[in-house]
Amino acid sequence: MEVGYFIIFWYGILHAFGPDHLTAIADFSIGKSVRKTVLITVMFAFGHGLMLFVFAKVLQHYALPESVTSYGDIISSSVIIAMGVYLLYMVTTDRIRLNQHFHEDKEHVHIYFGNAHSHDGNVMSVSAWGVGALMGIGGVRGMLVTLGLLQSNTVDWGMVLAFVAGVSLVFVSFGAGILYLNKRLLTSLTNVRRAFATAGAISVVVGINMLAA
């Protein structure tokens, strides 16, 4: 069964490289600290993996037509589009803020929406988990194909953890790249707005392309 876990782990890595997943991670990670970025990416991976395996388990016992399973792709695409539209709305309505201050002689840059910012990352992590769960529905068919390569088609918690580990490896690595851009580029409000506008536009384009595919 160790080979099966490795296959699931490798599938998680390949699955995470989808443009919709990387776009979602970028949307959540722009302007965030290292701790928040790691928390967001891991929560997204857990929500994604858990929902994907739950639906894969259901589809193992109940044969559903292709028209039904295709709704997963529509949900995933719609989530990406909604995220992009939200970011573009924040930019166009001038709701993005940049706050630079010092803590213990170290400069800190906080990027937030609205008139106040918070150090509590619970809301953002829960949102990342929820988005990851919704988008997990779109990968069910690919997971069933992967399970078909194994001798045992039974979904267990070991497979869930193996998949989450593979997805998290890519997400955290990609999030590290976003963190580098945060430190290098997001030092002015103009750059921050450009970054969010770019991320929002890419999200909308990726989502529309997924729907059209």
pLDDT in tens, 68-116: 566 777 877 888 899 899 889 988 988 877 766 555 566 555 666 665 5
Q: Which two tokens stand for residue 72?
A: 């997963």
Distances (CA, A) of 175 to 30, 37, 104, 141, 204: 9, 6, 26, 26, 20
- Domain ranges within the chain, ordered by starting residue: 2-212
Closest CA to 171 of 47, 7, 16: 16
What confidence tens digit (pLDDT) does each residue in 29-79 have?
787 777 888 888 888 888 888 887 777 677 667 665 566 566 777 877 888
Above 60 in pLDDT, residue 152?
Answer: no
pLDDT tier at 144, thresholds 50, 70, 90: low
Packed helices 122-136 and 19-29: angle between N→C axes, nearest 10 degrees: 170
| Statement: residue 208 has pLDDT above 90 | yes
Average pLDDT over residues 172-178: 85
Other CB atoms closer than 10 Å to residue 180's CB: what's the count?
A: 10
| Angle (CA) 171 142 211, round 5° | 80
Tens digit of each residue's pLDDT (9 = 90 or more) over 188-202: 878 888 888 998 999
As a whole number of angstroms, the distance between CA 4 and CA 149 comes to 9
Q: How many CB atoms lie within 10 A of CB 197?
A: 17
